[in-house]
Every structure is written in structure tokens, then in C-alpha cells.
Amino acid sequence: MVSFTFSAVALLAALLSTTLAQTHTDCNPLNATGCPNMQALGGNATFHFNDTMSDSIWKEKNAGKIDWSSKGTTFTIEGRGDSPMIQSTFYLFFGRVSVIMKAAAGQGIVSSAILQSECLDEIDWEFLGTNTTHVLTNYFGKGNTTDYTRGKDYPMDPPQEAFHNYTIDWTRERIQWLIDGRMLRELKYEEALGGKNYPQTPMNIRMGVWSGGDVENNDPYTVEWAGGETDFKQAPFTMTVQEVYAQDYTTATEYSWENMDASGAWEKVKVIEPKEGEKSEALQEIEKPHGVRNRWEALSKGAKIAIIASVIGFIVICACFITFCCIKQRRAGRREFAALQAEQNKEAAELLEYKRQMASGKFGYGNQI
């Protein structure tokens, strides 16, 4: 049983770093040069996952349905192949993240809230849809999946039935996983292969749901690990996120890979600090009012009246223009019709005249034929 759990964890790990887009990297700085700078959060922010969220901060990925409502954001698997997720455009370079969420129920359905870097450092919370007694914590250093002791399960109340606060506190010395303020696990730097497998490069936040129990797209071990085959007739399977708190332990505007070497060590990450009195683009974006409704509500009464007046004015102008064009068109049409008729009358008259002249033998040889 234990060995099964271990191999399942390893399989999941392999899966997470290969097939799942959730663990995708566009440019691995350990392999490629010139990977782009990352936007830093450079401060702290609370995101209410409602319909007034900024879509320039949270990017949607993969197939599946994501609904932003006033009650929270839902990630829904409606059928085979769906694995809806979002990821933050900003990165944290050591920091703290709390996700207030409810996991999806359903056989083979896996909900997750993770931190991940472009060179595949990773810190995870994971929930199996039919496991109502345990949550899985995990971590990866540079996508290294060869060690089977990283994943650990912890008992808790059913994560599918109520919202809980899942917090990761990540410093260069240690990682802590907390549920509703209760610490479950602590991992020290040295414990992760003397630091070599310790997550230590800027990470963004990724949350979503996928079906490990999809027998057409996963091997039997993954299906078994995920709790068995998913019956898509039971869909939809929905995970809900209500709030995310993110705190970056630097005040940077950006992080750069320009000094990075094969070590992937935190010392090689370049932290670009803001100029005096400035803040990161992410913080500026977060502080703006978002969503159409929110932006409208933020306007003054005068501005609202001006906008309504210009919209009405615009409609009136359009209506006048269309009417004018129609009248002009009809007049032009009438003129063209009259001209055409005159032309036809003229031709008819000419033909008549020709026939008359033929008959009267006006043309010299007319009668000789």
C-alpha cells in the first residue's frame, strides 16, 4: 500500500511536469537564454474572486468553464478534456499565499492550488474528488520527480464540503503549509536534498481542476491514484475559489534571469527594484477599479450624464445619417430609372423609324433582296 502511494505520487509528479499544462513553462531559464523578465507583485494584495476582477492579472488557460460571479470563481469540468485553470501574471520571490477555496467532488477529479516557477520549482496543495479525509501537500525542485518522499497527505475535514483557508508561507529557509491557521507541515531548505531540490526561484500562482480519472488520457496508475475512473455523465465537477491573498517578500517591480546559471539558485535571481515612489505594474493594475460595472460606478454623476448624452447624440447622428442616405439613394434610383426608360423609349423609336424606312424602300437595295 505504502509503495503504491509512493509510486502514485511519483506518477502524479511525472504527469504534472509533462502532460498537464498547469506545469507548463514557455522558457526554462536553466535550458534557454534570454527568458523574459517576470513581473513582480512587489507587495501584498487581496483578491476577491468575484466578477469585478482584473483579467489582466489572472490569465485563463485550457479548456473548461470559468465563471466569475459575485459569490466566487468556479472552475468547471463539463466533459472529457476539460482542465480549466488560471494563473497570475505576477510572480513572488519568497512570499505568502492564502487561497480560500472548496475542492471539486467527483471520482478521479483533482483540484489544485500551486505555486510554480519557470524552471519548475513548485509548491502544491492537491485534493482528490472522492477523498473526503485527506489533503496532499507536495513540492518539486527544478522539476525533479525522482524522489518519492516529497508528497505527504494530512487529515482534514472534507475539503469538498466547505471553504477552507490553504496557506503557503515560503521563505529561503523553510516552507510551511497551513490550513485555517493550523500548521500541517514544514520543510526546511536542507531537507530538500541539501537545498538542491528546494523551491527557490520566482513563482506565480496557478489554480484549477483536472481529471486524473480520465481513462482515455491517463495511464491506469494515475487513474487509480486519482480515486478511480471519472464518469463524465456525472459532470459538472466544480471547484470554487473565493479569495486569494498574495504577499511578495520583495518590493521588486521585476525579476530577471540574466545572472542565472545551471544551479537555479535563488542568489542568481536578479531583483529589479522600483524607482523612488514607484510600484510594480501589478500593484498599479490591482489598485485600479475593475470590471465594466465597477468602472461605471466609479464615475462621477457629471461624467455619467456626459457619457449618456454622447451616446444618445451619437445614436441621433447615426439615425439622421442613415435617413439621409436612404432618401438620397431613392432619389438617385428614381433618376436612374427615368434615364433608363428614356433610353429604352429612344431605342424603340429608332427601331420603329428603321422598320418604317425599310418598308418604304428608302434604302437603295432594300427591295432587291
Ligand X SMILES: *[C@@H]1O[C@H](CO)[C@@H](O)[C@H](O)[C@H]1NC(C)=O
Which amino acid is it at 36? Answer: P
Binding residues for ligand X, rule CB under 6 A, total: 32
* Least Cβ distance, residue 188 to ligand X (angstroms): 15
| 149 versus 367: smaller Cβ distance to ligand X | 149
191 noted as active-site residue: no
Bridge partners, residue 109, by sequence = 211
Q: Contact at 8 Å (CB) between 88 and 56?
A: no
Amino acid at 323: T
* Distant-in-sequence, close-in-space partners of 349: CB < 8 Å, separation ≥ 6: none
**Three-state secondary structure call for residue 128:** strand
Q: Which of 117, 197, 222, 250 binds ligand X (CB under 6 A)?
A: 197
Determine whether 285 is an active site residue: no
Choice from 19, 37, 165, 217 touching ligand X (CB under 6 A): 165
**Using CA atoms, how far apart are residues 12 and 222, in angstroms rounded to an integer?**
7
Q: Which of 12, 15, 30, 209 binds ligand X (CB under 6 A)?
A: 30
User: Which three cell numbers, joined as nine digits, stand for 128?
Assistant: 482528490
Fill in the amino acid letter for 50.
N
In Å, how far are 133, 135, 184 from 158, measured between CA atoms?
A: 6, 9, 16
Cell of 35: 527568458
Q: CA angle, corner 128, sides to 168 and 68, nearest 5?
A: 70
242 forms part of the interface with ligand X (CB under 6 A): no
Catalytic residue, chosen from 60, 118, 122, 276, is: 122
Residue 233 Cβ vs ligand X, minimum distance, rounded to whole Å: 21
Residue among 60, 78, 118, 126 flagged as catalytic: 126
Q: Pick the closer one to ligand X by CB: 19 or 144.
A: 144
Q: Which of 39, 74, 98, 117 binds ligand X (CB under 6 A)?
A: 98
By the rule CB under 6 A, 293 interacts with ligand X: no
Site track 33-62 with ligand X (rule: CB under 6 A), x = hit: -----------xxx-x-x-x----------
- For ligand X, which residue of 181, 194, 277, 302 counts as binding (CB under 6 A)? 181
Residue 235 has a CB neighbour count (10 Å cut-off) of 17
What pairing do the DSSP bridges indicate for beta strands 134-140 and 122-128?
antiparallel
DSSP 228-243: S---GGG--EEEEEEE
Return the number of the residue (79 or 215) whose C-beta is nearest ligand X.
215
Query: Which of 146, 259, 300, 360 touches ligand X (CB under 6 A)?
Result: 146
- For the CB of residue 264, give the shortest distance to ligand X in the complex, in Å: 8
Query: How open is the CA angle 103-123-173, to the nearest 5 degrees?
Result: 135
CB of 201 to ligand X, least distance (A): 12
By CB under 6 A, the residues from 321 to 340 that bind ligand X are none
Rounded to 5 degrees, what are φ and ψ at 103?
-75, 160
Among 37, 61, 78, 130, binds ligand X (CB under 6 A): 130
Chain-centroid distance of CA 102 in Å reads: 19
Catalytic residue annotation:
122, 126
Instruction: Note the residues at the interface with ligand X (CB under 6 A).
Output: 5, 28, 30-31, 44-46, 48, 50, 52, 70, 98, 100, 130-131, 133-134, 142, 144, 146-147, 153, 165, 167, 178, 181, 193, 196-197, 227, 243, 245
